[in-house]
Structure formats: structure tokens, C-alpha cells
Amino acid sequence: MSIPDEQIFPHATGNAVSTVEAHKDPQELVFYAGWFCPFVQRTWITLEEKGIPYQYKEVNPYKKEKHFLDINPKGLVPAVEYHGKALYESLVLCEFLDDAYPDHKPNILPSDAYTKAYARIWIDFIGKSFVPAFFRLLQAQEADKQDAARTEIYEALHKFVAQVKGPYFLGEEFSLIDVAIVPFITRDYILAEHRAYNRQAVSADWKRYADYVEQRESVVKTKSEKDKYEQIYGRYLKDEAQSEAAKAIRAGRAIP
Ligand SMILES: N[C@@H](CCC(=O)N[C@@H](CS)C(=O)NCC(=O)O)C(=O)O
């Protein structure tokens, strides 16, 4: 019998424990998070990069509790309350943090207008090409579907890596492009262990980029233990997950 999505491990583990502990006190910014969620990790990395004071609140988004639906009617983490007003959507939140905390450097988006627009093109690419392919490969059951999804992911990564200046996407500066993709890099061992994905097989350049970006302090500080992620992704690997993302992939829709 499959385990319902609501029964997830209830709190962060590993490196993320001390990060959560350091953010227990009330602040004007409340961060509604799920320790396991790659989209949450984007916003969490941004908060840590910028040293913004925030209060971490763990939410199980699968329970769709009323108090959380009042904050995010979509019922998804991450979300924030800022001076009592709610916002959600990981990338919107990352950009908001740049705008709302201009004195907290570094900015996660480049200040130059051209580079900012160029960054948004590749952030959009991650959301429309790489992330859906990542979920498709996780959820694919038959060998031919897995092969097709692996090819799709490799093709997306070839296009992405052709633009990487190194060591980060834009060069020396860590930016929202890296933030958008790195939570999936820290979880790609699931694909490596179960779906014959391999960083080196994508390309040496991809492996170099992925190996480097996952070492960033803000990324390491927001990571839980591997076996806890495996519990969550085990349902995806059997295509039994009932998350909004899993259902969308199954139905051939864009992920929410
Ligand atoms: N587009 C959203 C996606 C957020 C998302 O899918 N979060 C998942 C957890 S990783 C969630 O809250 N799932 C609850 C559900 O699917 O019911 C974002 O970028 O913030």
C-alpha cells in the first residue's frame, strides 16, 4: 500500500537543523516552508544569502490546513508573510527579497538591465524545460518513457550549460539562475540512483558546474539528510505521489 503524501517526515534534519533553530524567533518576515521542497529551498537560499531576518515556520502543504490556505490559496510552499501581508511562488519571493531588502547584499538579480533580462530568460528556461523534465524522469515507469525523459533532461541541460560562464552561470557572481536550479542539483542523486542519470554523462561542463554550485554555503545550510528526501521521492519513483506537481506531470499539464 502506498504512503499518503500527508505522512511526510515532520521537520528538517542534517545541516538544515541549525539553520531552522537560528530562525525560531518572531520577525516581520515569516517564512512558511517545507524542509523537503526544492521550491522552498530557492527562497531559503536567497534569505540566507542576503542575511535577512526571518522566522522559519514548517508547514505540511499536503494537509491544506485553513490557516495556510489563507496565506497561499494555492496551498503550496513556499509562502511568506511580510508585515502581515501574504506572498507566494518561489521565484517571485526571491525577487521580492531583493526589492524589499535593498540594503541586504548581495542582490540575487544583476543590476544591469540587459543582464537582468538575460537572467530571466534562463530562469524561465529552468521552470519550463528542466524542472518538468526532472519530474517526468522521476515519475516515468516504463523503460522507453524513462529513456525519453532522460534524453529530454540531457538536452535541456546541454542548452543550459552552453551558457554557463563558470564557476556560476553568470561568472563569478552567484545569481537567481543558480538559485533556481541548484535545489534540483542537490536532489539529482535520486535520478542517478534510480533512473540511470549521470552528471558526467550529461557533459563534463555540467558536472563541473553542478559539483561547484552545490557546495555554496547557503545551499549546504538548507539541506536535510539524504534518506529523508528518499522517503519523499520514493512516491514519485513509483508514480504514486499525489502532489499538485505529480498530478500535473501525469496529466501532461504544466506544473503549478
Ligand atoms: N510554483 C510553486 C511550486 C511550489 C510547490 O509545488 N510546492 C510543493 C512542495 S515541493 C507543495 O507545496 N505541494 C503541495 C501539494 O502539491 O499539494 C513555487 O515555485 O513556489
Q: What is the residue extent of each domain of the chain?
A: 16-100, 113-250
| CATH of the domain spanning 16-100 | 3.40.30.10
Cα angle 46, 43, 37 (rounded to 5 degrees) comes to: 135
Residues 40, 77 contacting (CB under 8 angstroms): yes
DSSP designation for 3: P
Strand order in the sheet with 29-33: 55-58, 29-33, 79-82, 85-88
Q: From ligand 1's centre to the CA of 242, what distance in Å?
A: 12
- Provide the pLDDT confidence category of residue 65 given band limits of 50, 70 and 90: very high
Rounded CA separation 13/256 (Å): 27
Active site residue 94: no
Element (H, E) at 29: strand 29-33
Rounded CA separation 160/158 (Å): 5
Look at ligand 1, atom 19, and give the residue with the nearest C-alpha. 90
Distance of CA 36 to the CA centre of its chain: 9
- Provide the pLDDT confidence category of residue 7 given band limits of 50, 70 and 90: confident
Mean model confidence pLDDT for the chain = 96
- The DSSP result for 176-208, as a single string, is HHHHHHHHHHHTHHHHHHHS---HHHH-HHHHH
Rounded CA separation 88/106 (Å): 22
Residue 2 has pLDDT above 60, yes or no: no
Q: From ligand 1's centre to the CA of 114, what distance in Å?
A: 30
Residue 146 has pLDDT above 80, yes or no: yes
Looking at CATH, the fold of the domain delimited by 113-250 is given as: Glutathione S-transferase Yfyf (Class Pi); Chain A, domain 2 (1.20.1050)
Residue 180 has pLDDT above 90, yes or no: yes
Q: From ligand 1's centre to the CA of 112, what distance in Å?
A: 31
Catalytic position from the list 37, 76, 164, 237: 37
Span of 21-25, 134-138, 196-200, 231-235 with lowest mean pLDDT: 231-235
Q: Where are the beta strands (DSSP E) in 47-131?
A: 55-58, 79-82, 85-88
Residues ≥6 apart with Cβ < 8 Å to 6: 60, 62, 63
Please indicate whether the domains covering 16-100 and 113-250 agree at the CATH topology level.
Answer: no
